[in-house]
Structure 1
Amino acid sequence: MGEFSIGDLVSLKNHPYNIAQNSKIGAAALLTPPIMVVTERLISNKYNADAEEKELISSQILCTFFNSKNSSIEKFWFKSNELSKIHNEKNQLNPENESETDYKSESKDLASMKRDFKNELVVLLTADEELGKKKMSWFKNKEEDNYKTEAFLEFLPPVMTVIDVVENLNYLKERRDPKDGALKKASCKYLLKCKWYNPIKQTFSEEFIPYKIIQKVSFSNDLLEIIKDAIIDKTVFSIVSNEKEIKFNNNKFKKIISFKEVIILNHTVKILYKDIFSNKLSTDNLENLNITSLKGNIEELGDKKYPDYTNSGYIKRDKLTWNKNKIYRIKYVDRNGRNTERYITNAELKTFDTEEADKVKFIVANCLLRHGEIRHFKLSNINERLDMKDEFNKLIKK
């Protein structure tokens, strides 16, 4: 019954995403039209009387977006042939055409809708796409071209609070053709009265918004509390990841992380964490994290430490013993003078003649920072060693 459905994300045909999804926007980024959500459709079953060939008159589409210039929800009518669909996961799930059963999906009574939505946090369906938009600027540094990428949040809608739910008094008005009963108008039966802070007016704004064009803002408070406690306690976790796994000598290693920060990005919660083996910082949405606690922090999962200033008997570095079956965390100064932290295993003390001196002591080991490749560490550059417990060795292997 039409090219678009209520809740579809659309924009004018000149939007860069119609050329390449999630592309970076350069040049005059402010000329980029907003991503909008289909709010209402006036379906045309008539043909153009003045056309040379048979031509169906375009349906009229009411679209909604957030205008950040005045912090307001705005609506505009377009002909369907002026718009293109912005493809994302939500649009993939929506049917191409609205069905006659759409009315049944709105069969809930007002009391049920109030229970479902009142006092909930919501945001326009455009929020994910607008939050992900990036713009790029070009500048020249000496003879090199350089590019700077930053967020482009011009139409990012705010998180709003639903303060009431009402029936759309125009829902049934001219909904069907009196001649054949065909659907003429597709709209929403219920409207949410939403409130948000308006920084332009320095006060609060309110708007009635169809419930089908918003999404609830929710996340796991239980998981968030676990992560907040882990940041304080420095507890480490294994995490399910699609990244290339570390494997060597018939062993596969889990990705082990420590949490660093909780970041609130409008309607989403992102978590900053560090891979303890690669030392790489990453972020992911809270709801995407699949984690298992290792029941302690690295110090608690370690055993003997060098140097140990709490022990009256000081052990010299070159007197340390190295067990090939253990995992060690070492703090090491590399050849460029940088302090690095490595996890190594299958460690063995060997002596080599170098250009600087003869019989220089090295630790030859599999380095987890280098995906288990063999690396040579000059013993004199190892400033700290923590012997990890056998329990840690078991916990980190698949």
Structure 2
Amino acid sequence: MNEHEKEISKNYLSIIKPKKTREALKLNDIVTLKSHPYQISYTEPKIGAYAKFTPPLMIVFEVLNKSTHDTLTGLKDSNHYKCLFYSTSEGKFEKLWFKGEELKFIREINKTNFGVNSPNINEWKKELIGKEVVLQTVDLELGKQKTFQDIVDGRSKMKDSTLLDYLPPVGTIMDLKFEDDYIKHNEKTGKISSQKQALQAKIKWLNNESGKISDDIVPLECLKLVTFNDIQVLYESRKTYLLPLQSRKQLESNVNLYYKAYPVYLKSVTFKHYYYVYNTSNKFSKKSVAYPESFPVESIVNFDEILKNGHDLGSLIQIQAFFSEENVEIFKGKWYYISYIDQQNNYTERIIYVQDFPRSDEENIGESRRTLRSNCLLREGAIRNFRVNGIKKCIELPNDFEKMFFERV
């Protein structure tokens, strides 16, 4: 590439700047060894080959600031960092020292005061003893995916599964104590020479290796509360629920109508290590949606009963006669549940809101095609055109349908 071509390419290619890492690590940083594929703001790669070479995500809970220099090179000695992680193969929390050049920064943990604003240790104990907690690396460890090649029916196929070698357990706080010497200063310079977490928690958990109850001391700031026992679980699966939207959502090209709630069918409830996941299907769009931790529904909805209460337009001939020029003002601005076959012979069932009745000339036929310009809930409210002769069944929905799921503005 000559200079002219290089100059032209600058107009089309943006320069990707790498994320900067930390010059010095700090308490509460989540770190890992440099051999880990995770990067700052990028924790999505699937891990192939021998996935067990993947090191753990760790939390820095003690820092030793070095002021000495190497006697041969003259370079300042690296700071040392004590890091915490859980080893599922050993069934215990590991607390190991590393030099700064061995580690790379991933992200900071979310600091919390656990709802306690008092320096009094007894206040902390009153609030936290008996509460369930887990290491703040848990979501990163749960998100690790390994990919491998498998043979299915004589064919090679790539499969994915979770990589849980360092998944931390859910434990219960049994006691708390303050570390008196959590900060130390250099006797010559007065600068901080070492620091660690001030508040320590004794936790107990079911050991995955021994099958017995284990206990250990873990810095409290490395933990986060687990609240699944405080949340009422919706265990009535195979029901349809009314899920209100936090903010209204407009239907395409429809300034009057807005979604205010969805009907969601609860297929199953899964417990994922420390929280519940509600596996649902949106009755409008047919899309599967998983709601982790909470499922903010208001009530059970008899969605099928709403459809049954609608007015069935009858046979194909009656449907054709209903959607005609003379009835435009009757059927516009209403909701319909239709069984539809498109021009590719694909069959679907969907709910539509008819906005208009445009006519367009068919080429080589010489006669007009009747279509319903509608908001289609199967396509999340987007505008779609439906041929009247493609509608095989049609139910005009009752007024209660719109009142329950939509709002006019």
Same fold per superposition (TM over 0.5): yes
Letter in 1 for 2:372: V
SS where residue 87 of structure 1 aligns? strand
Instruction: Give the direction of change, closer, same or farther, for the CA distance of 1:198–1:278 in structure 2 (3 Å limit).
Output: same
Q: Percent identity?
A: 24
In structure 2, the residue matched to 1:31 is 53
In structure 2, the residue matched to 1:153 is 164
Query: CA shift at 1:211, angstroms?
Result: 0.6
Instruction: Give the direction of change, closer, same or farther, for the CA distance of 1:120–1:15 in structure 2 (3 Å limit).
Output: same
Letter in 1 for 2:167: L
Query: CA shift at 1:66, angstroms?
Result: 0.9
Instruction: Give the direction of change, closer, same or farther, for the CA distance of 1:190–1:129 in structure 2 (3 Å limit).
Output: same
Q: Deviations over 1:334-362 (max 9, x none)?
A: 7888764311121899999x9xxxx9x98
Question: What is the 5 A alignment of 1:1-398?
Answer: 3-18=24-39, 20-52=42-74, 55-87=75-107, 90=109, 108-138=119-149, 146-168=157-179, 171-172=180-181, 175-218=184-227, 221=230, 224=232, 234-240=240-246, 246-251=251-256, 253-254=258-259, 256-260=262-266, 261-286=268-293, 293=298, 296-299=301-304, 304-305=309-310, 318-319=317-318, 323-331=331-339, 340-346=348-354, 364=372, 366=374, 367-370=376-379, 371-376=382-387, 378=389, 381-382=392-393, 385=395, 387-389=397-399, 392=402, 395-397=405-407
SS where residue 86 of structure 1 aligns? strand
SS where residue 28 of structure 2 aligns? coil
* TM-score (structure 1 length as normaliser): 0.76
Q: Is the 8 A contact 1:167 1:190 kept in 2?
A: yes
Q: Which whole-Å CA distance do the structure 2 matches of 1:294 and 1:301 have between them? A: 15
Letter in 2 for 1:17: Y
* TM-score (structure 2 length as normaliser): 0.74
Q: Which whole-Å CA distance do the structure 2 matches of 1:85 and 1:377 have between them? A: 60
Letter in 2 for 1:16: P
Q: How many residues were matched structurally?
A: 367
Instruction: Give the direction of change, closer, same or farther, for the CA distance of 1:350–1:393 in structure 2 (3 Å limit).
Output: farther
In structure 1, the residue matched to 2:11 is none
Q: Is the 8 A contact 2:31 2:106 kept in 1?
A: yes
Instruction: Give the direction of change, closer, same or farther, for the CA distance of 1:391–1:257 in structure 2 (3 Å limit).
Output: closer
Q: Is the 8 A contact 1:294 1:395 kept in 2?
A: no
SS where residue 65 of structure 1 aligns? strand
SS where residue 128 of structure 1 aligns? helix
The answer for unaligned runs of 5 or more in structure 2 is: 1-21, 324-330
Query: CA shift at 1:212, angstroms?
Result: 1.4
Query: CA shift at 1:140, angstroms?
Result: 7.5
Query: CA shift at 1:331, angstroms?
Result: 4.8
Q: Deviations over 1:137-194 (max 9, x none)?
A: 24588999743222222211111111111233xx417822222332111112221111
Q: Which whole-Å CA distance do the structure 2 matches of 1:164 and 1:337 have between them? A: 67
Query: CA shift at 1:31, angstroms?
Result: 0.7
Instruction: Give the direction of change, closer, same or farther, for the CA distance of 1:284–1:294 in structure 2 (3 Å limit).
Output: closer
Q: Is the 8 A contact 2:341 2:348 kept in 1?
A: yes
Q: CA RMSD, aligned part only?
A: 4.2
Instruction: Give the direction of change, closer, same or farther, for the CA distance of 1:379–1:305 in structure 2 (3 Å limit).
Output: farther
Letter in 2 for 1:82: E
Q: Which whole-Å CA distance do the structure 2 matches of 1:348 and 1:117 have between them? A: 61
The answer for unaligned runs of 5 or more in structure 1 is: 95-104, 308-313
Instruction: Give the direction of change, closer, same or farther, for the CA distance of 1:158–1:347 in structure 2 (3 Å limit).
Output: same
Query: CA shift at 1:24, angstroms?
Result: 1.4
In structure 1, the residue matched to 2:326 is none
Letter in 1 for 2:92: S
Q: Which whole-Å CA distance do the structure 2 matches of 1:340 and 1:125 have between them? A: 45
Q: Which whole-Å CA distance do the structure 2 matches of 1:338 and 1:203 have between them? A: 57
Q: Which whole-Å CA distance do the structure 1 matches of 2:250 and 2:149 have between them? A: 36
Letter in 1 for 2:106: I
SS where residue 49 of structure 1 aligns? coil
Letter in 1 for 2:270: I
Q: Which whole-Å CA distance do the structure 2 matches of 1:364 and 1:106 have between them? A: 62
Q: Which whole-Å CA distance do the structure 2 matches of 1:221 and 1:388 have between them? A: 39
Q: Is the 8 A contact 1:62 1:75 kept in 2?
A: yes
